[in-house]
Chains A and B, each alone.
Chain A
Amino acid sequence: MPISKASSNAVAPAALGDLVVGSATNDSGVLAVGTTGQVLTVDSTQALGVKWATPATGAGNLSQITTGSLSGTSVTLSSLSTYAELLLLINGYTWGTTTSSLIVRVNNNSGANYNQFGWYDNAGANGSSVKGTGLTSFSNTYPESNQLNTNADGVMAIKFTNCKSTGFTDMDQKSIFFRNADSKYYSQTYKGVYSQSEAVSSLVITTSGGYTFSAGTYTLFGA
């Protein structure tokens, strides 16, 4: 049965989309309509206990944060604490000295907090599942051979989710391709977790041995 203003103590809405909301027992108020895209959210600090709010950016809405060239013994990407998701692309990386592996660390932490499960392929042969727990970084280490430092055709894409949480950070996906000293091509794909209860504030790109980068670019996306 429709309730008229005369038959209740409700205040009258003033505009399209306004809501009449209870503010206490037998009392009510008007919540003015929000803007397009906003959703109704419970908030006990509001006089009416609810408000219109813009929903947080969800998964998949990544935008480019920054890009740059690799140089020095490591590159630290800092001030990341506002991002819930991060996707780091590293391309064409070479370094000055010897065969080694590309490394990504969270918050410059070199403790045994990196865990990953995945699969690798050796030029179409000897493919196998591989797991590592208690590692000291997320790297492109291959069980039998690593990247020759002068081969500039390597790529790494690594995505992190749950970055703002104080719980563990998911290493949602890591894909790598590189060439070793015998010019054999290797590809790997992994999922894993950074098992420290802390938000991600920085990512460090370096090599096993901290050799000085001579080429390479990085691009960071976030949401």
Chain B
Amino acid sequence: MFRVEHNVETGEITEIELTDKEIKLLETERKENEAAEKKAVDEYKVKAVAKAALLAQLGITEEQAKLLLS
């Protein structure tokens, strides 16, 4: 794995190999990102299910609900 440094003054573009410490840090960040993504998707799914149940209970479609709230 590498990162890129672009010196805009000289135009020089350098590929720099990540150190072991940087790779470990990235692994931690990736785990955190994936956990946050999973949480967001789960919350979205729970909300979508609750929304569908409420619409069914009211006997109206999503478009009709939007019309009511507009």
Contact = CB atoms under 8 A, between A and B. Distances in A.
B19 interface: no
A220 B8 contact: yes
Contacts of A98: 33-34, 37
A66 B34 contact: no
A145 interface: yes
Interface string B19-59: 00000001001101110110011011000000000000000
Given A73-B1, A73-B18, A209-B33, A146 B40 contact: yes
B45 to A, nearest CB: 11
A10 B3 CA distance: 65
Which bracket fits the contact residues of A?
A: 20 to 34
Which bracket fits the contact residues of B?
A: 20 to 34
Contacts of A146: 37, 40
Contact of B33 (A68, A72, A208, A212): A208
B3 A76 contact: yes
Interface in A76-97: 76-80, 97
B8 A78 contact: yes
A50 B5 CA distance: 43
B8 A65 contact: yes
A97 B36 CA distance: 15
Nearest to B11: A66
A209 B29 contact: yes
B67 interface: no
Contacts of B66: 125
B4 interface: yes
A210 B26 contact: yes
B30 A77 contact: no
B63 to A, nearest CB: 11
Given A100-B37, A144-B44, 10 more contacts: A75-B4, A76-B4, A78-B7, A145-B44, A146-B37, A146-B40, A208-B33, A209-B26, A209-B32, A220-B8
A-B interface, 4 closest residue pairs, ranked by CB to CB distance from nearest: A209-B33, A79-B9, A209-B30, A210-B26
Interface of A: 65-66, 68, 71-80, 97-100, 125, 144-146, 208-212, 220
28 contacts: A65-B8, A71-B4, A71-B15, A72-B1, A72-B2, A72-B3, A73-B2, A73-B18, A75-B6, A78-B5, A78-B6, A78-B7, A79-B8, A80-B8, A98-B33, A100-B37, A125-B66, A144-B40, A144-B43, A144-B44, A145-B40, A145-B41, A146-B37, A208-B29, A208-B33, A209-B30, A210-B30, A211-B30
